[in-house]
Amino acid sequence: MQAQTQDTAVLEANDAADAALVASLLPTTDTHMDTVRNILFGEQFRELERRQAALDRQLRVSLSQLSADTQKRFDGVTQELLALKDQLAEEVRLRSQDQTVLRKRLDQHDQQLDELSKRAKSQQTQIHERVTREVEMLSSQIETWRADLLQQLQQASDQLRHDKADRKAVAGLLNSMAQQLFDPEQV
């Protein structure tokens, strides 16, 4: 029985191998369907694959060009921004220098104004003192002249009373007094 079982096993193994060989030689259902599909739609499918491949290539080229163009523009914008940044930094530096110079000038002008103000106050004080002295001196001189004139007038009046002088003499006396009033150097 053992021999019979072995024979059966060998036969089954041979049958399985033969079946596999036959199956590989005969077209399967999937292969058969592919062949039918290829016959019916093959040309259209290959055309679609070519179009898809062409579109893929065109899309890759366009994306590559777009990427290169975008990178080029980005680099250009970056360069412009860097140039503007440098210009702005230079402008800030120049304005800072200008402000420093203007502050120094302003400080100098403030000092000069302070000095001029002090001088003006000093000169104003001197002028005021001088004018005050002159006014006092002139007031004193005018008072002296007034006293002299009053005395002369009194003397002339007394003399007129005593002498009863004529009108011409009084007019001459008054005229000389008027001249002395207008010409202080004659006194």
Q: What is the pLDDT of residues 10-33, one digit of tens each?
A: 556 555 555 454 445 444 567 888
Note the pLDDT of residue 21.
Answer: 45
Distance separating alpha carbons of residues 28 and 147, to the nearest angstrom: 161
The mean pLDDT value for 169-182 works out to 82
**pTM confidence score:** 0.36
Instruction: Give the contacts of 135 (CB within 8 A, at least 6 positions apart).
Output: none
Is 153 a residue whose pLDDT tops 90?
no
Is 164 a residue whose pLDDT tops 80?
no
146 touches 181 (CB < 8 A): no
Range of the domain at 166: 2-186
The mean pLDDT value for 94-98 works out to 91
Distance separating alpha carbons of residues 149 and 174, to the nearest angstrom: 10
DSSP letter (8 states) at residue 46: H
Is 7 a residue whose pLDDT tops 80?
no
Total number of domains constituting the chain: 1
